[in-house]
Amino acid sequence: MSSATSSTGRHRKAKPMSLALRRAFIVAAVPVTGALLSAPSALAADKTAKTTATTQSVAAADGLDPAEQRIADNLNTRAQSPSLGDTFSGVVLDSASDKVVWGHNADTALMPASNAKLATATAALTVLGPEHRFTTKVVYGDGTLTLIGGGDRLLTTADLTELAKTAAAGVKLGGLDSVKVRVDDSLFAEPTLATGWNDSYYDDQVSPVRSLVVDGKLSADTSIDAGKVFAGQLADQGVTVDGEVTRGTAPATDVPVGHHLSPTLSETVKKMLKKSDNDIAETVLRMTALGVGRPATFEDGTAVVRDVLSGHYGVSMDNFQIHDGSGLSRADRIPAQTVADILDLVTDPRYRGLLRSIDEGLPVAGEAGSTLGPEWGRFDTADSQCAVGQVKAKTGTLTGAIALSGLTKAQDGRWKVFSFIENESSADPAATKDTLDGLAATVNGCWA
């Protein structure tokens, strides 16, 4: 076990955006500039404008204030818990100075589980912008109403009801009383398994990724399900639906009938992080790829994530490997240092406006309805209860992988960024989660 402390930190060198990525952003009309000039919030109030830096190993144990020294000393002891096993990566940063307060195997790439969603969210907000909305459309042609998916993972039955009312009115105005219903989900490529996925994920973890879904339901075919809901709403409006709902691409000559705009991307990201929603993550990954003119696939989406993190923010991609947007892939590998560097961006005044929804979407310790809520048994031990309401962090859980990465204000009044990732522990997962919660409480300083 190494106590990794340093007075100088990582000193990331700011990297200019690559020409290819810059052109892609221009084509996609990315709203980055205004967001980068947003005033810092309380989270970043004590942080001067900083440069992004290449991850470096921690070399010395000086330059820590008393609160930070206690964090380092206590983590040295507590990170030796048997529940963490032998494959553990962790790091704590001071957000204002980029100083590394503590680290252990911080550059070791491990399965991040849902901590990968932090990378997905960062890329999506950068490419599309926080105010971006996804559009679901209805068009008519040759006796058929086509419901066209636009990547809105928050589409509801109530939304489809309104679309059905508009469509039914148009049908009746045209002197018709019956139509066929088709769904068009051609925005995304045909669903496939990501590298590192298996068929069992479709049972209870994620749906085959399609561009049309209603009520966020886990389903083998979310598009047809949405079409059936839409058809039912048409029937309620007095329009007969002929035959079964089919799938096909709407002809370009079809006439627009109605459309629905999703909540903003910032709201979508918040829900994705609070609930650790895998389906939202995979949809957002594809919409991000489309945003720079690439196909809506796992491969293209993850390539854009890497381009944005490295080309725009200067985050090191050493040992960084992802194959999906959700972190379900057992082939994903991200070092704790890189996860912390990604999270550290939200504390930077230059990016605060753009990435605010990541900060606001992080589950708060003890927050009911989030993945850190009491219903999940989080922050409920004698050691960690003191951090309820004081820590916000992204959880991550796969068989053989548990992670917790987030932010907390330490006893020195300064925000600390932490990332803890455990793989292959033989301990009860609940005990491992309790240990990680205790480490977060240690960073906060309430478990002194």
Tens digits of per-residue pLDDT, 319-349?
A: 999 999 999 999 999 999 999 999 999 999 9
With both helix axes pointing from N to C terminus, report the angle between 298-307 and 278-291 in degrees, rounded to the nearest 10: 70
Q: Which residues pair with 140 in a beta bridge?
A: 145, 255
pLDDT over 50 (residue 25)? no
Task: Please give the Cα distance from 282 to 206 (Å, whole number).
Answer: 9
pLDDT in tens, 108-164: 999 999 999 999 999 999 999 999 999 999 999 999 999 999 999 999 999 999 999
Q: According to the model, what pLDDT value does residue 169 have?
A: 96
Task: Please give the Cα distance from 41 to 238 (Å, whole number).
Answer: 52
Q: According to the model, what pLDDT value does residue 76 have?
A: 97
The CA–CA distances, whole Å, from 73 to 66, 92, 369, 445 equal: 10, 12, 34, 12
Q: Measured at the alpha carbon of residue 69, what is the angle toward residues 67 and 75, in degrees to the nearest 5?
A: 105
Q: Which is more confident, 355 or 43?
A: 355
User: Among residues 99, 168, 107, 105, which one has the least CA distance to residue 140?
Assistant: 168
Instruction: Provide, rounded to the nearest whole percent, the portion of the chain with pLDDT above 70.
Output: 86
Task: Please give the Cα distance from 296 to 203 (Å, whole number).
Answer: 23
Q: Which residues contact 242 (CB under 8 A, 6 or more apart)?
A: 178, 179, 180
Q: What is the mean pLDDT of the chain?
A: 89
Residue 112 structure tokens: 């991040």
Task: Report the pLDDT averaged over residues 230-245.
Answer: 97
Which of 10-24, 125-139, 198-212 has maximum average pLDDT?
125-139
pLDDT over 70 (residue 444)? yes
Q: Which residues contact 340 (CB under 8 A, 6 or more apart)?
A: 91, 92, 93, 106, 405, 417, 418, 419
Q: According to the model, what pLDDT value does residue 62 have?
A: 56
pLDDT over 80 (residue 1)? no
Task: Please give the Cα distance from 71 to 3 (Å, whole number).
Answer: 10
For residue 11, name the pLDDT band (cuts at 50, 70, 90).
Answer: very low
Whole-model pTM?
0.87
pLDDT over 90 (residue 384)? yes
Q: What are phi and psi of 240, to 5 degrees?
A: -80, 135
Q: According to the model, what pLDDT value does residue 448 have?
A: 80
Q: Which is more confident, 216 or 38?
A: 216
For residue 317, name the pLDDT band (cuts at 50, 70, 90).
Answer: very high
Task: Please give the Cα distance from 154 to 212 (Å, whole number).
Answer: 10
Q: Measured at the alpha carbon of residue 152, what is the angle toward residues 148 and 157, in degrees to the nearest 5?
A: 80
For residue 40, name the pLDDT band (cuts at 50, 70, 90).
Answer: very low
Q: Which is more confident, 152 or 59?
A: 152
pLDDT over 80 (residue 61)? no
